[in-house]
Amino acid sequence: MSGSLCSTPARSREEPIPGDDGTPFPSPHALWSASRAAMEAGCTAAGLSGAWQLLLLGDGSPTRHLQLLTGAPVEVELIAMACDAGDGKRVPAEVAGLASPLLRRQVWLRCHGEPLAWAESWWNQSQAEENLRDRQLPIWQSLTADRAELFREVDGLAQVTEPWLEQGFGCSGPFWSRHYRFFRGGRQLTVIREVFSPALERWLGPSHRCEESSTMLPAVTRTH
């Protein structure tokens, strides 16, 4: 593979702040998580509202959802796109199913300039070269440009937190997150993790059903 997708900017003598100069953020810390088996059993969504269940557990495109909810195009802000070992403690287990060498991509997804989601994805480097020719396009748009059929499988649900997520979203966590795989022709193509801003409650309503507060997971707390 050429160095165009896997190159990282030269670092200064001082360690750069994550997210600056093409330096990736650390993967978020999960306070709570559920496997695909637990989700299929229906035991993780007891207090999760219907609209948020559709967003987090459905197989639709999140960028398409954001566009429909806000009425604005989704702007992709590339944070980093660099070689990755894929062996960190916070890396989804499904990344092991990708052939090495690996590449990791991180982005903010914005509508009207407001960050509504953060995402990271892992790829085989040659697959990234083939499928991510335009770095500024959402992954879903890149993968469906030739109307190729894709299958999405949601593998995990979580609530995560990180100081840089709180700074980016402008509110305190925890934040709802999920990770899933794309398959094409029965072959695993990529693993994607998404984290969503509580600002989406303006369109989706509260993420938890008030009548089931006794079974709810901890709700997010906004800062002003």
| Phi/psi at 17 (5° precision) | -70, 135
Name the residue with tokens 């030739």.
146
Task: Give the model's pLDDT for residue 152.
Answer: 83
> Domain-by-domain residue ranges, the chain?
29-214
Beta bridge partners of 45: none
- Tell whether the model's pLDDT for residue 121 goes beyond 50: yes
Q: What's the distance, Cα to Cα, between the start and end of the chain in Å?
A: 46
Task: Give the model's pLDDT for residue 197.
Answer: 97
Going by C-alpha positions, the residue among 73, 52, 51 that lies closest to residue 64 is 73
User: Residue 194, exposed/middle/buried by CB under 10 A (0-12, 13-18, 19+)?
Assistant: buried
The C-alpha angle 97, 103, 108, rounded to 5 degrees, equals: 110
- Tell whether the model's pLDDT for residue 30 goes beyond 50: yes
CA 77 to chain centre: 13
One-letter amino acid for residue 101 of the chain? P
SS3 call for 26: coil
Name the residue with tokens 């059903």.
209
> Chain-wide mean pLDDT for the chain?
79
Task: Give the model's pLDDT for residue 89.
Answer: 87
Name the residue with tokens 């989406």.
200
What average pLDDT does range 4-11 have in this prediction? 38
SS3 call for 35: strand
pTM exceeds cut of 0.85? no
* Residue-level length of the chain: 224
SS3 call for 138: coil
Is 105 in contact with 121 (CB distance < 8 Å)?
Answer: yes
Confidence of residue 24 (pLDDT cuts 50, 70, 90): confident
Is 172 in contact with 223 (CB distance < 8 Å)?
Answer: yes
Distance CA(187)–CA(19), nearest Å, equals 31
Q: Residue 6: which residues within 8 A CB-CB, separation 6 or more?
A: 81, 82, 83, 101, 103, 125
Q: Does 198 or 87 have the greater pLDDT score?
A: 198
CATH of 29-214, one of 3.40.920.10, 3.40.1410.10, 3.40.640.10, 3.30.420.10: 3.40.1410.10
Going by C-alpha positions, the residue among 190, 193, 121, 191 that lies closest to residue 160 is 193
